[in-house]
Chain A
Amino acid sequence: MMQDNKINSYQFIVLVILFTIGTAILTVPSVLAVGTKQDAWITAIVGTGIGLLVIWLYTTIAFWFPNLTYIQINEKLFGKWIGKTVSIIFVFMSFLWTSSLLFQSGTFLNIHMMPNTPMIVLNILMAGIVVMGVRLGLETIARSAEILIIVFFIQFIVLVIFVAPEIKFENIQPLFEVGTKKIVQSSIFFVGTSVFNAVILLMIFPAFINKVKQAKKSFLIGNLIGGIVIIMIVFLCVSVLGADRTARSIYPSYELAKKINVGDFVQRIEALMASLWIISLFFKTALYFYASVLGIAQILNLKDFRPLTIPLGMITVVLSVIIHPNVIEQIQWDGTTGLSFSIFVGLFPPLLLLVVYAIRKKQLKKEA
């Protein structure tokens, strides 16, 4: 029932790219610029490097049991009760992040596009399409991602080309002013937002992929491409706006789009560029929501997860309104507790799995 839809490795790359870019494209530049000023783009490179190591860990875990999702792996290795506890924390995280992302898309639209519309309406609209996508299944999400990634990259290239003349190299000088230690420390935030959360992709990888052997590479390649996009955005932000302005604005990449000016004629096309963020936000939210719904269904051994989508969607919308009182609190929370929570869920259980697998390897082989 649940295994009926499978995606191919190209579709998986696309999903990983959009997941990695997700919210990072909006919020990461300013956070990195606060920590490491004009060297923020170097921090992003370091972060992507660390991220690839973490992804490699995830793929290793996933390949022990090519037909099971993360929750089933947990249950198999940790036993019934501990496994379920770990899974419940995991589902709780992905569910919280769904509402947090809804909050972020809601505030983004509310601040920049529709200031007079109540935020809950925008959240309901976003949640509506997310629920619809998840009900239709992973294959539908993957296929729409395949189409929208083209739109995404065309817009991204347009943004890069049109903004490129504004680059001032004085803005990124002097290089390495903050020192290596600080750069590595700040990159933790980058890894926290876009890589440790990728543990939820273990819900679709490799259980729902039809050619598993090629898929290992696609996880790494997708993460690398996503990382490169973010590095470019951070570099453009710092070199065009300057480290100071990047650090002060909430959505620096949106400020970047406002800078576009081609021959005093093509100006203020940031509203078009906003679809870039909406696309990546939508897919990240949809994947989180898919992971939480499928997770709950598998923890409780249900045969079908579709009936749960609409009630959970309702809860998510309510949570998204109460979860953060304002944007400042959200950014502050993301940098402290949110980061610790991501690391706690995304790093420790996989490392524990590694240890437990090493101990129980022989026993598991006998059973199989």
Chain B
Amino acid sequence: MLKSIGILLFAAIIVWIEVPPLLKKGYKKELIVFSILLAIGVGLGIALGFGKNIPNPLDLLTFVFKPINDFINFLTT
């Protein structure tokens, strides 16, 4: 619980620092991308704080690259 409050506080500080200059310059697209990334970051952080299992992107890569790995193994042995 404490961890997620800390992460939310941190996120609030980031928003407080980053958003006003963006609004002032009128960068709409940047603001959208920034919010999406921040939401992902906060979500992952809180999930990690509660000790939830986060899917590992490397597992996907291992699955996709298995044929190539086998091919390289075949070449190098």
Name A residues whose Cβ lies closer than 8 Å to a Cβ of B: 96, 185-186, 188, 296, 300-304, 307-308, 310-312, 314-315, 317-319, 321-324, 333, 336-337, 339-341, 344
Closest A-chain residue to B59, C-beta based? Answer: A337
Q: Which residues of B contact A321 (CB under 8 A)?
A: 48
Contact of A340 among B27, B58, B69 (CB under 8 A): B69
> Could you give, for residues 32-53 of chain B, a 1 whenever the CB lies within 8 Å of some chain A CB and a 0 otherwise?
0110011011101100100000
Asked if residues A340 and B41 are in contact (CB atoms below 8 Å), the reply is no
Closest A-chain residue to B29, C-beta based? Answer: A302
A-B contact pairs, 15 of them (CB 8 A): A185-B75, A186-B76, A188-B76, A303-B27, A307-B18, A307-B34, A308-B37, A318-B41, A318-B54, A321-B48, A322-B54, A336-B62, A336-B69, A340-B68, A341-B61
Contact of B44 among A96, A304, A315 (CB under 8 A): A315
Is B2 an interface position by the 8 A CB rule? no
Asked if residues A318 and B45 are in contact (CB atoms below 8 Å), the reply is yes
* Complex alpha-carbon distance, A317 and B40, angstroms: 12
Asked if residues A318 and B33 are in contact (CB atoms below 8 Å), the reply is no
Closest A-chain residue to B53, C-beta based? Answer: A322
Q: Give the A-B pair count, Cβ closer than 8 A.
A: 88
Asked if residues A344 and B68 are in contact (CB atoms below 8 Å), the reply is yes
* Complex alpha-carbon distance, A322 and B31, angstroms: 28
* Complex alpha-carbon distance, A80 and B64, angstroms: 25
Asked if residues A304 and B30 are in contact (CB atoms below 8 Å), the reply is yes
**Contacts known (A318-B45, A321-B48, A340-B65); A333 close to B58, Cβ less than 8 A:** yes
Asked if residues A337 and B62 are in contact (CB atoms below 8 Å), the reply is yes
Asked if residues B33 and A322 are in contact (CB atoms below 8 Å), the reply is no
CB distance from A86 to the nearest CB of B (A): 16
CB distance from B43 to the nearest CB of A (A): 9
**Contacts known (A315-B44, A341-B65); A300 close to B33, Cβ less than 8 A:** yes
Asked if residues A302 and B14 are in contact (CB atoms below 8 Å), the reply is no
Closest A-chain residue to B14, C-beta based? Answer: A310
Contact of A311 among B37, B54, B56, B73 (CB under 8 A): B37
**Contacts known (A315-B40, A315-B41, A318-B41); A307 close to B54, Cβ less than 8 A:** no
Is B5 an interface position by the 8 A CB rule? no
CB distance from B19 to the nearest CB of A (A): 8
Q: Which residues of A contact B62 (CB under 8 A)?
A: 333, 336-337
CB distance from A324 to the nearest CB of B (A): 8
**Contacts known (A302-B29, A314-B41); A337 close to B61, Cβ less than 8 A:** yes
Asked if residues A314 and B61 are in contact (CB atoms below 8 Å), the reply is no
Closest B-chain residue to A99, C-beta based? Answer: B57
Contact of A318 among B22, B48, B73, B75 (CB under 8 A): B48
Is B72 an interface position by the 8 A CB rule? yes
**Contacts known (A300-B29, A311-B40); A339 close to B72, Cβ less than 8 A:** yes
* Complex alpha-carbon distance, A315 and B42, angstroms: 8
Q: Which residues of B contact A337 (CB under 8 A)?
A: 58, 61-62, 65, 69
Q: Which residues of A contact B27 (CB under 8 A)?
A: 302-304, 307
